[in-house]
Amino acid sequence: MAQLKMPVMAWYGDKQASLPIPDSWQAERCAPPPRPPLSREQMRAALQNPIGTPALREIAARKSARSAAVVVEDMTRPTPTRLFIPLLLDELRAAGLGEDAVRFVFALGCHRQAPRAEMVKKLGHNVVGRYETLNHDLTGKFRDLGVSERGVPIRISEAVMSADLKILIGTAYPRSGTGYGGGAKCLVPGTAAFETIKAYHGLRGGEHLRTDSEMRQEIEWIARTAGVDMIVNAVLNGKRQIAALFAGDVVQAHRAAAECVNQTALTPTAQEADVVVSNAYPFDTNLRYTWRGTWAFEAHPNALRILVAYSPEGSGYHQLFKAGGAPFAPPPSGEPSFHLYSPLIGAREVNEVLANVQHHASWESVLQLVKEKKGRSPRIAFYPYAGVGWRSG
């Protein structure tokens, strides 16, 4: 039998799945152009040559900085930041900021707290063991920066605001709402108070691959107001490797990263397909973010839709959207919007987040479904890297 090969389980082994399909299936692999990972020296060069700002050590000298807060994403975002965090710390040490002067803050927003093991995955054992490392705390202290013109109350964690230098570490990728991930999103919603996060989510979002939405414009204005000194944004290839790195101004460096996403993420789509198999990796840690693999379905509206999302953490957690919800999700009714394959989780977990989705715990169940719905020789559009992709054209 032929096989559909794809990476799965970001942060949990990053394994290679090989899902068998009958030889009679006509499978077309749809993937963006391959892009190799950066070397250590290439990442160092990106940090030492920021876009739109002086070098980090020069910023520190101008501000006579005695402390720095480095804000990092949690495991819902796939960038292996541990690969370049030591290089960033080299720059901070060159600016006179040693271990006692640097604090890491996990930009959780309304996500669950990150245990130490996850901090180590993100930052590395030596960093977590030697530097102050905090989870963002919605019950903690916040600094009130007023109210924006759009009516958003601006309250940012004192763990960030009390530092002389403020650095945001993020991931640029296609997404709705803000157009791309990364940029100022680590600050808001990442380190904001609950009322700030709630108001932010009430703003008008925008299309994928655009930066003109209210959401994007608002968080960039807040970042300026809060005094963010630098961002560092990674662009990943389909294997969760760092393909590009951009440091510098919260807007200018992010736009450079966004342009790189436009070049690396755009994926050609199959002309015709009876079945779409789309892989949510590397946004397959929990179900709340697997929707980033569903864009391929829009290119094939009449096809049978199958999302591969192992989701080892199950349904995931987001306080803003979970609080006040029904204790038990209703079972799906009618024709499902798509089918989800995961051998690790159960239907109840799936339907808690994806109400009208049919779960399949075995690949054999998926094969039988395709046979019943589309016959023995269907045309398959296979998107192995949909999680970091977007349709071209």
Identify whether residues 115 and 249 lie together within a single domain: yes
Tokens of 154: 């601006």
Is residue 209 within 8 A of residue 236, CB to CB? The reply is no
Identify whether residues 185 and 249 lie together within a single domain: yes
pLDDT value, residue 322: 63
Of residues 393, 22, 54, 79, the one with CA closest to residue 235: 79
Among candidate residues 205, 233, 264, the one where a domain is terminated? 264
Q: ω before 22 within 30° of 0 (cis)?
A: no
Q: How many CA atoms lie within 13 A of 234 on its CB side?
A: 27
Residue 381 phi/psi, 5° resolution? -100, 115
Identify whether residues 157 and 294 lie together within a single domain: no
Identify whether residues 95 and 149 lie together within a single domain: yes
**For the domain that residue 157 is a member of, what is the CATH number?**
3.40.50.11440
Rounded distance between C-alpha atoms, residue 199 and residue 189, angstroms = 10
Identify whether residues 28 and 106 lie together within a single domain: no
Q: ω before 282 within 30° of 0 (cis)?
A: yes
Tokens of 233: 């944004």
Exposure class string for 215-246: b at 16+ Cβ within 10 A, else e:
bbbbbbbbbeebebbbbbbbbbbbbbbbbbbb
Identify whether residues 216 and 362 lie together within a single domain: no
Among candidate residues 264, 280, 312, the one where a domain is terminated? 264
Dihedral sign, Cα of residue 186, residue 192, residue 196, residue 199: positive
Identify whether residues 166 and 276 lie together within a single domain: no
**For the domain that residue 380 is a member of, what is the CATH number?**
3.90.226.30
Domain total of the chain: 2
pTM for this structure? 0.95
Which regions in the chain score pLDDT beneath 50?
A: 323-328
pLDDT value, residue 1: 81
Domain membership of residue 314 as a residue range: 2-32+267-391
Is residue 154 within 8 A of residue 225, CB to CB? The reply is yes
Is residue 60 within 8 A of residue 95, CB to CB? The reply is yes
pLDDT value, residue 207: 84
Identify whether residues 59 and 197 lie together within a single domain: yes
Identify whether residues 103 and 167 lie together within a single domain: yes
Identify whether residues 260 and 273 lie together within a single domain: no
Tally of helices (H runs) and strands (E runs) in the chain: 13, 18
Is residue 372 within 8 A of residue 264, CB to CB? The reply is no
Rounded distance between C-alpha atoms, residue 373 and residue 306, angstroms = 12
Tokens of 176: 């709705």
160 CB-contact burial (10 Å; exposed 0-12 / middle 13-18 / buried 19+): buried
pLDDT value, residue 330: 55
Identify whether residues 228 and 330 lie together within a single domain: no
Strands 15-21 and 2-8, how do they pair? antiparallel
Per residue in 94-131, pLDDT (tens digit) is 999 999 999 999 999 999 999 999 999 999 999 999 99
Per residue in 143-157, pLDDT (tens digit) is 999 999 999 999 999
Identify whether residues 304 and 183 lie together within a single domain: no
Among candidate residues 264, 280, 302, the one where a domain is terminated? 264
